[in-house]
Structure 1
Amino acid sequence: MAVLLPRPHPDDVRIALAGLLGGLLIWGVGLGVRGPRDPIILWDGRWPILLPLVVMAGCELLRRTRPRTGLLIGVAALTVDTITQGSLVTVLMFTDLVYAAVLYSPLTAARRVLWISGAMTVVWTVVPLAAWRKPEALLIGVVVGLVAFTPGATGWIVRNHRDAAEAARLRAEQTALLAEMDRTQAVTAERSRMARELHDMVANHLSAIAIHSTAALSLDDPKTSKDALAVIRENSVEGLAEMRRLIGILRNDSGDLEPAAAPTLDGLGTLVEGARTNGLDVVLDADHADALPAPVELAAYRIVQECLTNALKHAGPGRVTVTLKQRDGSLTIAVISPYGRQDGPRAPGSGAGLVGMRERTALLDGTFEAGPVEDPASPDGKIWAVRATLPVTENPQGVPE
């Protein structure tokens, strides 16, 4: 079965052609490494020089694709070249094969080539010196070092620089990828924050507007319509003001760094009064410390606000109870409302309110529950209960702004 060699790199083809043409040029003018009477020559004449030259040029075609194979054949070609008059170009191409073998071979093979070339340099330096005891014998080791070890060491240095550059490039790509992931997460978190703020601050006003406008359209009573229009105007003005603040934050040209002064639990009384104005029967029972962490107060305020909005839109007739208790390092919020359909107009819901409350609670490592609960005292046998527990810590992990 034939083995197909990979296509040589274009640069390797150019190197092989340059080496072959250069060797032919030197051969044509009659230059050789050794003279005709050199005792090492076993194959005399000018024509034998061409065989190792052509083979070495062919090995150059394998310097990237099969560097170890090219080096092994090159060693054989160099051995043949040493028993002829020799060609300087053949020796130069062999040094390039050693360099390529260290640079392009797998790491283990490259390290082996470097060690072997170093060992050969040492052997060819020590053995001739010990045998002949002449300083001139050191020249053999110098030549072997220049032909074998020096190109191998150069290839090793280049390989290390190349690997370091590649590692730096990969680190830069990973850093850029992590930065992009952080940016995406920051954008997603900011969008979620703005969605919660938009829903919590505006949905209450829009729900009241929807309910009272429906009542004004469905009931033929001038007084009812007038009262409904008054509530609609009040909620539309407040909602418009909140929208302007949010738009100012997004444009960052209003001078406001917050949508408003961060709500606190001291504002629950005003919030409950607004719900009563919109027709909701609400009772507030708050028992908490005067100073709570700002993120906890903001989350608690928004949760109560959303519960009142949901009660206005969905709860049946009856009283809504809001309870806040601070016990054992946590603030518990419980909002109980009638379960069942309203007799009057209803406002549509999207379910985003429950998601927002759950997110606010999770950001503070709290717990959140919402759903119908059995209650024999209720006309429908059920009530809708929302319960959230927020840890009271000085440095909460998340800040649901």
Structure 2
Amino acid sequence: MSTRRPPAPLLDAALVAVALLDVWVHADASEPLRLVCALVAAFVLLLRRRLPRLTFLLTLPAVLLSDSVFAALAALYTLASLTRGRTLLVVCAVAFTFSDLVSLPSPGFDFSAPSTFIAMGYTAATAAAPVFLGQLVQARRDLSLRLAEISRARDHERQLTAQTVLARERTTLAREMHDVVAHQVSLIAVRAGALQVGSRDTDVRQAAATIRKLSVQTLEELRHMVSVLRTAGGDPVELVPQPSLADLRRLVDNSGIETELRTDLPDGLPPPVQRAVYRTVQEALTNVRKHAPGATAVVRIRHEHATVRVTVTNSPPTRPALSLPGAHHGLVGLRQRAELLGGTVTCGPTPDGGYRLSFALPVTGTR
């Protein structure tokens, strides 16, 4: 748990107070020059954050002329915590060491005496302590900044992940809207159009025209919604509930098309494969209703050499197709689904004027 630091002005005032105490202990009023230098060194600590180098230089005379060294050590610590120049710190530590040994105006050291080197080592260690402490504080501050940057980067990564998931959900929702909602609305429009053309009752024809008009408008709005949702992109994330092969018969029976269903698929196909087969048949029958009114269809689903093959073939239309809006996302969605599962989709007209859609998908893990 991080502790809260005291305010900077309060800390500076405390340092000045300790430095003045050091002056009171070591300075002599009978020596005004030394007293003034010591007092200047004490009060100049108020500038240590903004001008750390100048502050240290202004504290050196007090070290040279008196024994009041606390202000110089505090200035040296501040300089070490704010600068990255190692050479400058070494020079400042050496300057403090020799200033403390010289003690002007009467130098009191003799290099021929062993005690001089002992005193020099002690003074150098005293100067090195605030330097190392300041560098340690600087390293801790840099580490805190790096940790804050890492935390911000992780937050940004989480936001990107959430946006990616949302994009995938939008794309999947667009696909499901086209496969399910548009499928049902297009069936309503086709049935209403047939009722409008075939009925002799004026009221029924008007009601059918209204239903068809609303259905067409709904399909157009769905097309715009699907286009907006598809702009997000991303890999599909399946929604629930999802259809399976057990729902094929109901799909064919409710398609409004005379359809023959032939299937010999084994049990235990993976759910993604079952959904892909269902969506392929659904899209093919939807296209038959929209583009080949009155046509019949044959749905052939078989399992050959570890491959599921779906073929939907329709006969030529027997009456003109109704003009229904379409965004042409159906076949695109089928191809995307097939590519994700390692399969292929092919389609094209038949020689007799009909149309054939084929879907091939490799299957593993059946039981």
The bucket for the TM-score relative to the shorter chain is 0.5 to 0.7
Describe the SS at the equivalent of 1:351.
coil
Q: What is the CA deviation profile of residues 169-219 of structure 1, one whole-angstrom value per residue up to 9, with x for unaligned ones?
A: 223222222222223333333343344334323333322211111222233
Which one of the candidate residues 67, 71, 74 is aligned to 1:93? 71
Cα RMSD between the aligned structures? 4.6
Uncovered stretches (5+) of structure 1, i.e. residues with no partner: 1-9, 37-44, 237-257, 396-401
Report the CA distance between 1:298 and its aligned residue.
Answer: 1.4
After TM superposition, list the pairs within 5 Å mapping 1:340-355 onto structure 2.
343-355=320-332
Distance 1:213 1:283 in 2: 24
Which one of the candidate residues 339, 343, 361 is aligned to 2:338? 361
**One-letter identity of the residue aligned with 1:207:** S
Describe the SS at the equivalent of 1:197.
helix
Matched, 1:153 2:127: no
Distance 2:21 2:76 in 1: 24
Give the equivalent residue in structure 1 for 2:161.
Answer: 182
Distance 2:44 2:318 in 1: 90
Structure 2 CA distance for partners of 1:21 and 1:305, relative to 1, 3 Å? same
Which one of the candidate residues 148, 151, 154 is aligned to 1:169? 148
Structure 2 CA distance for partners of 1:57 and 1:388, relative to 1, 3 Å? farther
Matched, 1:392 2:358: no
Contact 1:288 1:325 in 2 (8 A): yes
Structure 2 CA distance for partners of 1:339 and 1:54, relative to 1, 3 Å? farther
Structure 2 CA distance for partners of 1:14 and 1:292, relative to 1, 3 Å? closer
Percent of pairs with identical residues: 25
Distance 1:160 1:341 in 2: 83
Contact 1:207 1:313 in 2 (8 A): yes
Contact 1:321 1:337 in 2 (8 A): yes
Contact 2:80 2:135 in 1 (8 A): yes
Uncovered stretches (5+) of structure 2, i.e. residues with no partner: 1-6, 102-108, 216-238
Report the CA distance between 1:343 and its aligned residue.
Answer: 0.9
Report the CA distance between 1:359 and its aligned residue.
Answer: 4.0
Which one of the candidate residues 61, 71, 89 is aligned to 2:47? 61
Give the equivalent residue in structure 2 for 1:246.
Answer: none
Contact 2:48 2:55 in 1 (8 A): no
After TM superposition, list the pairs within 5 Å mapping 1:19-30 onto structure 2.
none
Describe the SS at the equivalent of 2:254.
helix
Matched, 1:80 2:58: no
Give the equivalent residue in structure 2 for 1:303.
Answer: 280
Distance 1:189 1:22 in 2: 64
After TM superposition, list the pairs within 5 Å mapping 1:1-400 onto structure 2.
11=8, 15=12, 32-33=26-27, 45-47=31-33, 50=36, 54=40, 61=47, 63=49, 67=52, 70=53, 73=54, 76-84=57-65, 86=66, 88=68, 91-106=69-84, 109=85, 111-112=86-87, 131-134=112-115, 138-146=118-126, 148-221=127-200, 259-260=240-241, 262-275=242-255, 278=256, 280-315=257-292, 318-337=295-314, 343-369=320-346, 373=348, 375=350, 377-379=351-353, 384-394=355-365
**One-letter identity of the residue aligned with 1:269:** R
**One-letter identity of the residue aligned with 2:190:** I
Structure 2 CA distance for partners of 1:104 and 1:389, relative to 1, 3 Å? farther
Distance 2:95 2:311 in 1: 86
**One-letter identity of the residue aligned with 1:133:** P
Describe the SS at the equivalent of 1:326.
strand
Report the CA distance between 1:296 and its aligned residue.
Answer: 0.9
**One-letter identity of the residue aligned with 1:204:** H
Contact 1:12 1:63 in 2 (8 A): no
Calculate the TM-score normalised by the size of structure 1: 0.62
Calculate the TM-score normalised by the size of structure 2: 0.66
Report the CA distance between 1:355 and its aligned residue.
Answer: 4.3
- In the alignment of these two chains, the number of paired residues is 321
Distance 1:162 1:59 in 2: 21
Report the CA distance between 1:297 and its aligned residue.
Answer: 0.8
Moved more, 335-344 or 202-211: 335-344
Distance 1:160 1:357 in 2: 57
**One-letter identity of the residue aligned with 2:250:** T
